[in-house]
């Protein structure tokens, strides 16, 4: 410090603070040996208060305005200094400017998931994040409880402590609310109000007022969300029996259009596979009481198993498919000669079309045929 600056700083004429930051809460006015002379000008701007501290003790607090420092507007400091008839020489005091504007958009978020007991899903781990706003409403208390003798205090220095208060009260509010996890998203406003009310008294202890708190999100772990998506999908499916029939129809269409399946054979096999899948799914839905809302299979009373499927036979004549025919009708057609040994036949389960005589279960039908009738005459 140069000689001129030293002399200038010894007797301060103007005490003021022009805040160029967005996050400074407290700023101590710099001066040489804390000397302020009688009649100095004090300027306190809007969203500020000025606090005079003498020998570690808070004296006078000035609200926004312009002041000439005399015994009339420094009553507490005058008492502490013993000025009964005014003062003429410079006096020593520390001047702290406290920012009373609203500090906004301070973030909070759970570092680790916390446990809640949900009536529908049981124990769950959830996370949350949001934001809050606050302002200093008692400058003297804030200096005593938080700032101390620090020459400058920013929001970053107090954010961790305030964030911990918010998170602790938030966890308690969620756990005691008994609101189902699936309904929490529709109750964010209620959570915000509950938490704000819970932490207001604790903020007052620091000379602060919380002006707004927003719970922006409550989320589940990724693996739980994945299972919830599956459950939601089952709910959208709805009637599983109808859905299985739709799937069976798609399977038949796919099989019929498969060039490797052999045209008619592919269509027949697709139909058989589709019907089989549809029957199995419908049977599971009806007999085992499948619940599409939960994706779980309830253990209900078990009925008798379904009867064995009836064989359905097809045969080809001049490249045209005939059928289907049940077992008895088909064997009658063999006896009548409508189906011969060389006739190509097929049913569900066969890999492809074969001559009737090459099908083991039909071969005996041809051996048991009666000989030709004797000639007439």
Residue 82: the pLDDT is 80
Is 330 within 8 Å of 339 (Cβ atoms)? Answer: yes
> Can the peptide bond before residue 140 be classed as cis, meaning omega within 30 degrees of 0?
no
Give the span between the Cα atoms of 120 and 228, in whole angstroms.
12
Residue 112: the pLDDT is 80
Residue 106: the pLDDT is 92
The SS3 of residue 134 is strand
Residue 255: the pLDDT is 66
How many Cα atoms within 13 Å fall on the side-chain side of residue 154?
A: 6
Query: CATH topology for 313-367?
Result: Dna Ligase; domain 1 (3.30.1490)
Residue 243: the pLDDT is 62
Give the span between the Cα atoms of 257 and 244, in whole angstroms.
20
Q: Which two tokens stand for residue 202?
A: 């604790």
Is 357 within 8 Å of 341 (Cβ atoms)? Answer: yes
Residue 303: the pLDDT is 65
The dihedral sign for the CA sequence 66, 71, 75, 77: positive
Residue 312: the pLDDT is 86
The closest alpha carbon to 74, from 6, 149, 15, belongs to 15
Residue 23: the pLDDT is 92
Domain boundaries, the chain: 3-99, 103-220, 238-297, 313-367
Residue 74: is it exposed, middle or buried by C-beta count within 10 angstroms (0-12/13-18/19+)?
buried
Query: Which stretches of the chain score pLDDT less than 50?
Result: 1, 3-9, 261-267, 285, 290, 292-295
CA–centroid distance for 175 within its chain? 17
Cβ contacts of 249 within 8 Å, gap of 6 or more? 274
Residue range 174-205, pLDDT digits in tens: 777 778 887 887 788 887 888 888 888 899 99
Phi, psi dihedral angles at 218 (to 5 degrees):
-130, 120
The dihedral sign for the CA sequence 152, 148, 200, 63: negative
The closest alpha carbon to 52, from 92, 8, 10, belongs to 92
Strand partners, 91: 36
Residue 227: the pLDDT is 77
Query: CATH topology for 103-220?
Result: Tetrahydropterin Synthase; Chain A (3.30.479)
For residue 240, the 8-state DSSP code is: H
Q: Which two tokens stand for residue 234?
A: 């089952």
């Amino acid at each position: 410090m140069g000689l001129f600056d030293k002399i200038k700083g010894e007797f301060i004429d103007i005490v003021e603070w022009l805040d160029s930051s967005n996050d400074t809460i407290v700023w101590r006015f710099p001066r040489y040996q804390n000397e302020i002379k009688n009649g100095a000008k004090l300027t306190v701007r809007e969203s500020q208060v000025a606090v005079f501290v003498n020998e570690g003790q808070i004296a006078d607090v000035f609200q926004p305005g312009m002041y000439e420092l005399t015994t009339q507007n420094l009553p507490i400091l005058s008492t502490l200094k013993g000025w009964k008839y005014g003062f003429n020489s410079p006096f020593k005091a520390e001047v702290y400017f406290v920012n009373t504007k609203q500090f906004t958009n301070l973030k909070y978020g759970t570092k680790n998931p916390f446990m809640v007991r949900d009536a529908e899903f049981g124990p769950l781990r959830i996370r949350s994040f949001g934001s809050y706003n606050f302002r200093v409403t008692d400058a003297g208390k804030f200096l005593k409880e938080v700032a101390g003798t620090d020459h400058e205090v920013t929001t970053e220095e107090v954010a961790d402590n305030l964030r911990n208060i918010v998170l602790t009260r938030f966890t308690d509010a969620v756990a005691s609310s008994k609101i189902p996890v699936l309904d929490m998203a529709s109750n964010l406003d209620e959570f915000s109000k509950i938490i704000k009310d819970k932490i207001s008294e604790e903020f007052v202890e620091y000379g602060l007022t919380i002006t707004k708190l927003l719970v922006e999100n409550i989320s589940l772990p990724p693996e739980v969300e994945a299972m919830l998506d599956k459950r939601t999908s089952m709910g959208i499916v709805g009637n599983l029996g109808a859905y299985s029939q739709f799937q069976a129809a798609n399977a038949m269409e796919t099989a019929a259009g498969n060039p490797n399946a052999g045209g008619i054979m592919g269509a027949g096999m697709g139909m058989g596979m589709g019907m089989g899948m549809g029957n199995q799914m419908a049977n599971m839905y009806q007999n085992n009481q499948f619940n599409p809302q939960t994706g779980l299979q309830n253990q209900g009373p078990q009925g008798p198993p379904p009867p064995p499927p009836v064989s359905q036979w097809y045969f080809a004549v001049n490249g045209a498919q005939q059928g289907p025919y049940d077992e008895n009708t088909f064997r009658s057609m063999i006896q009548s000669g409508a189906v011969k040994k060389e006739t190509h036949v097929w049913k569900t389960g066969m890999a492809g079309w074969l001559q009737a005589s090459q099908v083991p279960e039909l071969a005996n039908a041809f051996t048991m045929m009666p000989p030709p009738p004797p000639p007439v005459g």
